[in-house]
A and B are shown apart, each in its own frame.
Chain A
Amino acid sequence: MYQVTEKRDVPPNIKMFKVRAPAVSRKAAPGQFVIVRTDERGERIPITIAGAEPEEDTVTVYFAEVGASTRDLGRLGEGDGILNFSGPLGNAIPVKGYGEVLCVAGGVFQGVNLYLAKALRGEGNRVTCVQVAKGMDHLFLVDEAREACDESYAVVDDDEGGGLKGLVARLLDEKKMSRVFTFGPVPMQRAVAELASARGVPSSVNLYPVMVDGTGMCGACRVTVGGATRFACIDGPEFDGASVDFDELTSRLRYYTPQEKIAMVLNERGVI
Chain B
Amino acid sequence: MPKQAPEERKSNFDEVALGYSEEQALAEASRCLGCKNPRCVKGCPVGVDIPGFIGLVKERRYVEAARRIKETNSLPAVCGRVCPQESQCQMSCVLGVKGQPVAIGRLERYAADYERSSGAQGPARTTRGGGRVAVVGSGPSGLTVAAELQKKGHQADVYESLHAAGGVLMYGIPEFRLPKDIVQAEIEYVKGLGVNLHLDSTVGRLLTVGELLRAGYDAVFIGSGAGLPHFLRVPGENLKGVYSANEFLIRTNLMKAYRFPEYRTPITVGRSVAVIGGGNVAMDSARCALRLGGEKVYIVYRRGKGELPARLEEAENAEEEGVEFMYQTNPVRFIGDDRGYVTRMECVRMELGEPDASGRRSPSPIKGSEFLLDVDTVIVAIGQSPNPIIQQTTDGLEATRWGTIVVDEETMATSISGVYAGGDVVSGAATVISAMGAGKAAAASIHNYIEKRGQSAT
Chain A residues with CB under 8 Å of chain B are 23-24, 27, 32, 37, 41-44, 68-69, 72, 83-89, 212-213, 215-220, 222, 224, 229, 234, 248, 251-252, 254-256, 259-260, 262-263, 266-267, 272
CA distance A255 to B250 in the complex (A): 17
- Chain B residue with Cβ nearest A83: B163
Query: Is A259 a contact of B238 with CB atoms below 8 Å?
Result: no
Query: Is B229 a contact of A212 with CB atoms below 8 Å?
Result: no
Q: Does B260 contact A (CB under 8 A)?
A: yes
Contact of A212 among B207, B240, B250 (CB under 8 A): B250
Q: Does B231 contact A (CB under 8 A)?
A: yes
Contact of A86 among B200, B233, B389 (CB under 8 A): B200
Please, which residues of chain B bring their CB within 8 A of the CB of A267? 261
Q: Kindly list the 10 A-B residue pairs having the minimum CB-CB distance in the complex, ordered from nearest.
A: A218-B247, A251-B340, A86-B200, A259-B266, A217-B227, A43-B264, A219-B244, A263-B261, A84-B163, A41-B263
Chain B CB within 10 A, most for which of A213, A255, A267 = A213
Minimum C-beta distance from A227 to chain B (A): 11
Chain B residues with CB under 8 Å of chain A are 161-163, 171, 199-202, 205-207, 227-229, 231, 233, 237-238, 240, 243-244, 246-247, 250-251, 255-256, 260-266, 268, 339-340, 387-389
- Chain B residue with Cβ nearest A231: B228
- Chain B residue with Cβ nearest A39: B264
Query: Is A217 a contact of B264 with CB atoms below 8 Å?
Result: no
Query: Is A69 a contact of B264 with CB atoms below 8 Å?
Result: yes
- Chain B residue with Cβ nearest A90: B205
Query: Is A86 a contact of B161 with CB atoms below 8 Å?
Result: yes
Given known A216-B388, A259-B268, contact A37–B163 (CB-CB < 8 A): yes
Query: Is A224 a contact of B261 with CB atoms below 8 Å?
Result: no
CA distance A115 to B244 in the complex (A): 34
Contact of B261 among A27, A68, A222, A251 (CB under 8 A): A68
CA distance A255 to B260 in the complex (A): 15
Minimum C-beta distance from B122 to chain A (A): 25
Given known A86-B202, A212-B251, A216-B388, contact A44–B240 (CB-CB < 8 A): no
Query: Is A255 a contact of B240 with CB atoms below 8 Å?
Result: yes
Please, which residues of chain B bring their CB within 8 A of the CB of A44? 163, 255, 265
Given A32-B205, A272-B261, 11 more A-B residue pairs with CB atoms under 8 Å apart are A87-B205, A87-B206, A212-B247, A215-B162, A215-B387, A215-B389, A217-B227, A219-B231, A252-B340, A254-B340, A263-B264
- Chain B residue with Cβ nearest A2: B200
Please, which residues of chain B bring their CB within 8 A of the CB of A218? 229, 244, 246-247, 250
Given known A69-B264, A217-B227, A272-B261, contact A222–B238 (CB-CB < 8 A): yes
Contact of B227 among A32, A87, A216, A222 (CB under 8 A): A216
CA distance A24 to B206 in the complex (A): 6
- Chain B residue with Cβ nearest A265: B261
Please, which residues of chain B bring their CB within 8 A of the CB of A263? 260-261, 264, 266
Given known A41-B262, A68-B261, A72-B264, contact A252–B163 (CB-CB < 8 A): no
CA distance A89 to B393 in the complex (A): 13
Please, which residues of chain A bring their CB within 8 A of the CB of B229? 217-219
Query: Is B388 a contact of A259 with CB atoms below 8 Å?
Result: no
Query: Is A88 a contact of B387 with CB atoms below 8 Å?
Result: no
CA distance A256 to B389 in the complex (A): 28
Please, which residues of chain A bring their CB within 8 A of the CB of B206? 23-24, 27, 87-88
Please, which residues of chain A bring their CB within 8 A of the CB of B251? 212
- Chain A residue with Cβ nearest B380: A219
Contact of B246 among A84, A86, A88, A217 (CB under 8 A): A217
A/B interface sample: 14 pairs, CB < 8 A: A41-B262, A68-B264, A84-B163, A86-B199, A86-B201, A87-B200, A89-B205, A215-B162, A217-B250, A218-B246, A251-B340, A254-B240, A254-B339, A267-B261
Please, which residues of chain B bring their CB within 8 A of the CB of A222? 231, 238
Query: Is A256 a contact of B268 with CB atoms below 8 Å?
Result: yes
- Chain B residue with Cβ nearest A27: B206
Please, which residues of chain A bring their CB within 8 A of the CB of B237? 229
CA distance A69 to B268 in the complex (A): 18
Minimum C-beta distance from A221 to chain B (A): 9
CA distance A212 to B200 in the complex (A): 14
Please, which residues of chain A bring their CB within 8 A of the CB of B340? 248, 251-252, 254
Please, which residues of chain B bring their CB within 8 A of the CB of A256? 266, 268
- Chain A residue with Cβ nearest B263: A41
Please, which residues of chain B bring their CB within 8 A of the CB of A42? 264
Please, which residues of chain A bring their CB within 8 A of the CB of B260? 259, 263
CA distance A256 to B340 in the complex (A): 12
CA distance A68 to B265 in the complex (A): 10
Query: Is A252 a contact of B240 with CB atoms below 8 Å?
Result: yes
Please, which residues of chain B bring their CB within 8 A of the CB of A72? 264
CA distance A224 to B199 in the complex (A): 31
CA distance A87 to B205 in the complex (A): 7
Minimum C-beta distance from A31 to chain B (A): 12
Please, which residues of chain B bring their CB within 8 A of the CB of A24? 206
Query: Is B262 a contact of A272 with CB atoms below 8 Å?
Result: yes
CA distance A219 to B238 in the complex (A): 10
Minimum C-beta distance from B204 to chain A (A): 9
Minimum C-beta distance from A84 to chain B (A): 4
Given known A86-B161, A218-B250, contact A234–B389 (CB-CB < 8 A): yes
Please, which residues of chain B bring their CB within 8 A of the CB of A266? 261
Please, which residues of chain A bring their CB within 8 A of the CB of B207? 23, 27
Query: Is A216 a contact of B389 with CB atoms below 8 Å?
Result: yes
Chain A CB within 10 A, most for which of B206, B264, B266 = B264
Minimum C-beta distance from A35 to chain B (A): 8
